[in-house]
Structure 1
Amino acid sequence: MDLLTPDEAAVLDGVVTALVEARRGIAAFQALEASLLASAMALGVSRADGSRGDGDMPVREIAAEIAAALRVSDRTVERRLVEAQRLATRFPATLIALTDGRVSRAHVDVIVAAGERIEDAGARAVFEQAVLVVAERESASRLRPVALLLAERVMPTTLTERHESAREERRVEVQDLDDGMAQLLAVLPAALAHGIRARLSAMATAVKDADPAESRSHDQLRADLLSDLLLAGEPSGHDADGQLGAIRAEVHVTVPVLSLAGVDSAPAVIEGSAPIDPDTARVLCAGAPGWERVLTHPVTGTVLAVDRYRPSADLRRTLRARDQRCRFPGCRVTAAHCDIDHVHDHAHGGATAHDNLAHVCRRHHTLKHHSAWTVTLTADRTMTWRSPTGREYPESPAPPGIAFTTDGDPPPF
């Protein structure tokens, strides 16, 4: 169904073109601002003289001058001076990409956050080169897990070593909020944290399904169920039929086979999230009821096939391993929460086969069927979304959690 007339589509086309150019201009001005702030920071650092005991006073002096001119807090300016210096000196290629409008400020923040722990300049440059390739085609939210994995690959120490140290910092805190509320913060190993949320989400969905009149949101239900479980030991306030207590968490982890065997120390990856250490991954695999073997291309990392030692819905697993998330550009809804959609409508002869199916979240599934947006899926698994204005947006499958390269090849992202 076409919702836009040709004239309306032409107007929208002009608006989108102008917005793209405006975003490039905004990125260029943000890069200019960062460069100017970095220059100011360099001036302050060069004037600092520890022997005089002035410490960071020159930087504070400069921050105060800029803050007064811009009518903002000098503490805010001082923080931005530090951030600008970090970007200009440690991530110069990223600053150039921002200047050119190839990435947004949000992409820059993700890149710097993932790579700031890489102390070796050469390793950081390798990371920056690889991550920018992904940043130029993905949204900032999708970039984050890939950036963390790419950063992990160039770290001088293994994730296992760093995880052992970080585990010592696990804790539970309470931070008081306004209006009689408080925030409960638990710092835990990633696999446990994701597992806890997954179980609470499954319970919340079960409560919603059991009572159509349930008015609480999933966030509210997760909070109420967490209170039940921690204070009563079971979801007593919600489990009238005894079903919720049987729900267990489901966490999907991709583990390199050599790491599973203890031969290598390459990290595993929680679906759609950050890397986890191989020791934790091996513990999770030991208790798993079944494993999926994912065959990937040796250079590109593209998922070619999935099989499993126990009979199940092979096609669904293959699609989930391939897609990992909604296939609309920029969307990060995980495959577990998406519909499996026939690209060519089944009602019009579309086959129920891997080359005609893809994961699409409910929002974009509805968009596909009830607007002028159209989709094609090619043999290399690229989905191309065509907008009402005629623009085409190719969407490749999510990069796999684990991929391998031959010597000298860049990372397959």
Structure 2
Amino acid sequence: MTTTATAPAGIAAARLAPMVDEIVDIRRQMAALQAREARVLAAAGAIADEWADAEPTRSDAEVARRSVAAELAAALRVSDRTVQRQLAEAERLVGSFTETLTSLQKGRISLAHARIIVEAGDRITHPELIADYEASVLAYAEAESASRLRPIAKRRAEWYLDETIRERHAAAARTRAVQVYDVDDGMAEMLLTGPAVIVYGIHDRLTRMAREVTDADAQAIREAREALKAAERAARAAAGDANATPAAIDELADAAERARTGLDDLVAARRSLDEIRADLVADLLLAADPVAHVGSVDTGLAAIRATVQVTVPVLTLLDSPVDDPFDAVTLAGHGPIDPDTARELARTAPGWDRILTHPISGTVLAVDRYQPSKKMRRLLAVRDRHCRFPGCRQSTARSDIDHTVAWVDGGTTAVENLSHLCRRHHTLKHHTPWSVVHKPGGVLEWTSPGGRVYPDHPSSGVHFTTDAEFDPAPF
């Protein structure tokens, strides 16, 4: 009998363990070097500024920066435009986000994390508020992936901005546009810039429509395979039948060949989700209906509408003239949106979810609805927001609800034993030595085949947590 230690998975885990340690150490060293590079680039930018200040009549700041960027670019064999952009990024990081730079230097975060923190906090004008912003977001950044950090950083930065989201959204909305760019081989790109709720809704509806098409295509291929098998059986039976005429045998052989050709054509015509989304955009914009898809396959495209998840603090619905940055309206996967959009969505929504959160930790305690619905699924969707494997941001709409302890093993159908896992990580949990334990507060503690433990905290606890300054006094 093969023991766990000598099983293929155990052997692989033992061989992989030192490699994991090595790659983690390599990334830590890379982060430290990137922090060092940022300091050098910031110093080079300072030299450009000193040059411009010393000779204001012969060189302005832009010319000085171009010259310094060109010097570095020539030595690195890269574009001077790229270097000039990197100079500006490094100066913001080194000059204003010192704690983020320190965390990068120590290898606690990656350069991608640092860029997200700087990008989200770049509009904070007061240095002391930037420090508060860093303190509020760095612990999360050091524990989560960069992709999960982005919406959290946006929301935290909202607390410290001078202008409200309403004011900024009104200004940004005037930049909405549709632009077209030529690319190679007879192709072109269309870029849509617009309100996040609208753009996310468009992408959601296109994705759901595309999945309808792929499901229908997959069903057509399954039916074609069955038809081919039946035609081949009939052809073989006729070939072995002494009473069958040559004409009948040839006809059945031709039918099998046509079935094979039809199957090959269907398989060759299969498209990726991106291809189908692009085709559906063309259908909807040119004909106001998915005409190239409705009727050609059995789908429910015409009935599909966009779905977005928006968290609206109840006081926002009162149309208060004051926008509380600590209680911002958030679009799942994006970050803060303006309250006017939120109120319009609430006005037309078929029902509302009411979320009760812990006043300090932000943990989701309960969800109910004024109209009867599947309460548990709604609570899990609000708590999890995405797949609960560390670093994954696949939405709950694209994920399965999984029993942490399987039903057949005595697991209960309770929130404390349920979580969202995308198909990829759901399969990983059930078919590899990865294991997971459900801890209090919705925390999932994953253990790798090599024995490493990776906790995954529900992002809702970070979204709904209050600022320490406004925490309720202890009883």
TM-score bracket for the superposition, by shorter chain length: over 0.9
Q: Which residue of 2 aligns with 1:225?
A: 280
1:211-250 equivalence runs, <5 A: 211-212=217-218, 213=221, 215-240=270-295, 243-250=300-307
Distance 1:7 1:221, change over 3 A: closer
Alignment RMSD: 1.9
Q: Which residue of 1 aligns with 2:250?
A: none
**Cα distance in 1, alignment partners of residues 299 and 143 from structure 2:** 47
Q: Which residue of 1 aligns with 2:373?
A: 312
Superposition deviation, residue 351 in structure 1: 1.1
Q: 1:33 aligns with which of 37, 61, 65?
A: 37
**Cα distance in 2, alignment partners of residues 281 and 311 from structure 1:** 22
Superposition deviation, residue 76 in structure 1: 2.7
**Cα distance in 2, alignment partners of residues 69 and 251 from structure 1:** 48
1:316-331 equivalence runs, <5 A: 316-331=377-392
Aligned residues: 410
TM-score (norm 2): 0.82
SS at match of 2:85: helix
Q: Which residue of 1 aligns with 2:237?
A: none
Is residue 199 of structure 1 aligned with residue 256 of structure 2? Answer: no
**Cα distance in 2, alignment partners of residues 125 and 156 from structure 1:** 15
SS at match of 1:27: helix
Residues 95-142 of structure 1 show CA distances to partners (whole Å, capped at 9, x for unaligned) of 111101111011011111111122222222211221211110110011
Superposition deviation, residue 64 in structure 1: 3.2
Q: Which residue of 1 aligns with 2:246?
A: none
**Cα distance in 2, alignment partners of residues 305 and 235 from structure 1:** 40
Q: Which residue of 2 aligns with 1:258?
A: 315
8 Å CA contact retained: 2:212, 2:299: no
Q: 2:59 aligns with which of 43, 46, 54?
A: 54
Superposition deviation, residue 52 in structure 1: 1.4
Residues 238-291 of structure 1 show CA distances to partners (whole Å, capped at 9, x for unaligned) of 111683222111111100111122235243111121211001000000000000
**Cα distance in 1, alignment partners of residues 444 and 386 from structure 2:** 13
**Cα distance in 2, alignment partners of residues 259 and 13 from structure 1:** 50
Distance 1:282 1:60, change over 3 A: same
Q: Which residue of 1 aligns with 2:469?
A: 407
Between the two proteins, what is the percent identity of the paired residues? 50
Superposition deviation, residue 226 in structure 1: 1.1
Is residue 366 of structure 1 aligned with residue 427 of structure 2? Answer: yes
Distance 1:90 1:406, change over 3 A: closer
8 Å CA contact retained: 2:124, 2:161: yes
**Cα distance in 2, alignment partners of residues 104 and 261 from structure 1:** 41
8 Å CA contact retained: 1:324, 1:335: yes
SS at match of 2:366: strand
Instruction: Return the letter of the residue paired with 1:378.
Output: K
Q: Which residue of 1 aligns with 2:177?
A: 171
Structure whose alpha-carbon radius of gyration is higher: 2
8 Å CA contact retained: 1:268, 1:278: yes
**Cα distance in 2, alignment partners of residues 61 and 222 from structure 1:** 45
8 Å CA contact retained: 1:325, 1:333: yes
SS at match of 1:52: coil
SS at match of 1:95: helix
**Cα distance in 2, alignment partners of residues 355 and 242 from structure 1:** 36
SS at match of 1:239: coil
Superposition deviation, residue 189 in structure 1: 1.1
Structure 2 unmatched ranges of 5 or more: 222-265
8 Å CA contact retained: 1:256, 1:402: no
Structure 1 unmatched ranges of 5 or more: none
Q: 1:22 aligns with which of 21, 26, 29?
A: 26
1:153-168 equivalence runs, <5 A: 153-168=159-174
**Cα distance in 2, alignment partners of residues 92 and 407 from structure 1:** 22
Instruction: Return the letter of the residue paired with 1:123.
Output: L
8 Å CA contact retained: 2:436, 2:445: yes
Superposition deviation, residue 6 in structure 1: 4.2
Q: Which residue of 2 aligns with 1:42?
A: 46
**Cα distance in 1, alignment partners of residues 152 and 83 from structure 2:** 30
Q: Which moved further from structure 2: 111-120 or 326-335?
A: 111-120
Q: Which moved further from structure 2: 143-152 or 401-410?
A: 401-410
SS at match of 1:129: helix
Q: Which residue of 2 aligns with 1:105?
A: 111
Superposition deviation, residue 317 in structure 1: 0.9
**Cα distance in 1, alignment partners of residues 303 and 64 from structure 2:** 62
Instruction: Return the letter of the residue paired with 1:311.
Output: P
Residues 331-372 of structure 1 show CA distances to partners (whole Å, capped at 9, x for unaligned) of 011111101111111121111111111101111111111111
**Cα distance in 2, alignment partners of residues 234 and 278 from structure 1:** 31
**Cα distance in 2, alignment partners of residues 403 and 259 from structure 1:** 17
Distance 1:242 1:407, change over 3 A: same
Q: Which residue of 1 aligns with 2:100?
A: 94
Instruction: Return the letter of the residue paired with 2:58.
Output: G
Q: Which moved further from structure 2: 310-319 or 49-58?
A: 49-58
8 Å CA contact retained: 1:4, 1:372: no
SS at match of 2:391: coil
**Cα distance in 1, alignment partners of residues 313 and 465 from structure 2:** 8
Superposition deviation, residue 234 in structure 1: 0.9
Structure number having the greater helix percentage: 2
Distance 1:242 1:326, change over 3 A: closer
Q: Which residue of 1 aligns with 2:253?
A: none
1:254-293 equivalence runs, <5 A: 254-263=311-320, 264-266=322-324, 267-293=328-354
